[in-house]
Amino acid sequence: MEEKTAISFANVAATYDNANEVLSDVSFNISGGAFYFLSGASGAGKTTLLRLIYQLHKPSRGQIKLFGQNTAEMTRDDIAKLRHKMAIVFQEYSLLSHMTVFDNVALPLRVRGIAEKKVKQLVTKVLDWVGLGKYADVKPMELSGGQQQRVSVARAIIVQPSILLADEPTGNLDDENASRLMELFIQMNKLFGTTIILATHNKKLMETYKFPVIHVENHRVTFVGKSSSTTEPKKVWKGPTPKNYFSELSKQFDDIGNA
């Protein structure tokens, strides 16, 4: 196995409540810094695949390795620490309704014990990136679906993940906002070497950005297109340093306003 392999599946199967297998004999290696779309019909097992990678679901058989580590041998705390290098954006946002947008985005940093001064600095910056700087003090329920989606994305990218998994992150966004978000992901991938797997139904998106596709069908996984792992993983992200691109992106989000 290559040293820079980020995700490795070997004959992995997944079931829910000991019923039929949702995924069978899934085997693949994904290099660090790759960008993949994940496609398939509803209920095909896209979310299950993401949950398996993120260790939210245990495989019924087979072996999963993340950053070369066999996850079957890991304790709960080991998995928690492994998740410090990963982030996931769920379709249903998974935001805490009683907390403000700022606190939701700050949560992963606080869990990691980052100093509050640094938390404030990073959250403010990332909220600006996703165009939600002025909504820092509001509760997620007061935001539109698209804005909540962006809060969820902000919470994921703020931890400088090595692997970013996104389940239909553009599902609630219009074309304009969807492409802005895609640009954000692409920049993360290019600038920071983040391995990204993005589940989507949006064929237009897949046609526009010609990344290779992991296709889930009949409980099996097939790969379509050439791996984009040509993107060299960059040095570890030392914090969301302001880039011209992100400043520009932020302005564009501001111009668009509510998604």
Partner 1 sequence: MKKTTVFSLVRDQSVFMTAIMSLLTFLSVMTLGIAISISTGVIDWNTQWKTSATVQVTNQKSEPTVRKILNDNKTKIETLHEISESEMSDLMRPWVSGGNALQNYLPKVWEVRFKSESDLNDMSKTISPHARFLTHASALHASMSAGWKMMMIAGLILVLTLGTIAICVSYIARNTAMLHKRELEILNQIGATDSFVARQMQIIVSKISACAGLIGFVAAVPVLLLVLSSAHSARVGLMAMLNITSFGWACLVILPILITIFAIWMTRHTTLKILQKD
By CB under 8 A, name the binding residues for partner 1.
54, 56, 76-77, 80-84, 86-88, 90, 94-96, 98-99, 103, 106-108, 110-116, 119, 155, 159
Beta strands, E only, the chain = 5-15, 21-31, 35-40, 61-66, 69-70, 86-89, 163-167, 195-199, 213-217, 220-224
Q: How far from 82 is each of 74, 104, 106, 152, 165, CA to CA, in Å?
A: 9, 20, 19, 20, 14
Nearer to partner 1, 79 or 186 (CB): 79
3-state secondary structure 38-100: EEECCCCCHHHHHHHHCCCCCCCEEEEEECCEEHHHCCHHHHHHHHHHEEEECCCCCCCCCCC
CB of 163 to partner 1, least distance (A): 12
Q: Cβ neighbours of residue 36 under 8 Å, at least 6 residues apart? A: 30, 196, 197, 198, 211, 212, 213, 214, 228
- Whether the CB-CB separation of 226 and 212 falls below 8 Å is answered with yes
Nearer to partner 1, 114 or 191 (CB): 114
CB of 150 to partner 1, least distance (A): 17
Nearer to partner 1, 115 or 224 (CB): 115
Nearer to partner 1, 14 or 156 (CB): 156
CA 68, CA 59: separation in Å to the nearest integer? 17
- Exposed / middle / buried, residue 94 (Cβ in 10 Å: 0-12, 13-18, 19+): middle
CB of 139 to partner 1, least distance (A): 14
Report the 10 Å Cβ neighbour count for 129.
25
Nearer to partner 1, 103 or 128 (CB): 103
CB of 218 to partner 1, least distance (A): 29
CB of 115 to partner 1, least distance (A): 6
Nearer to partner 1, 113 or 255 (CB): 113
Nearer to partner 1, 108 or 212 (CB): 108
Strand, coil or helix: 165: strand
CB of 96 to partner 1, least distance (A): 6
User: For residue 75, which phi and psi values (nearest 5 degrees)?
Assistant: -85, 175
CB of 210 to partner 1, least distance (A): 30
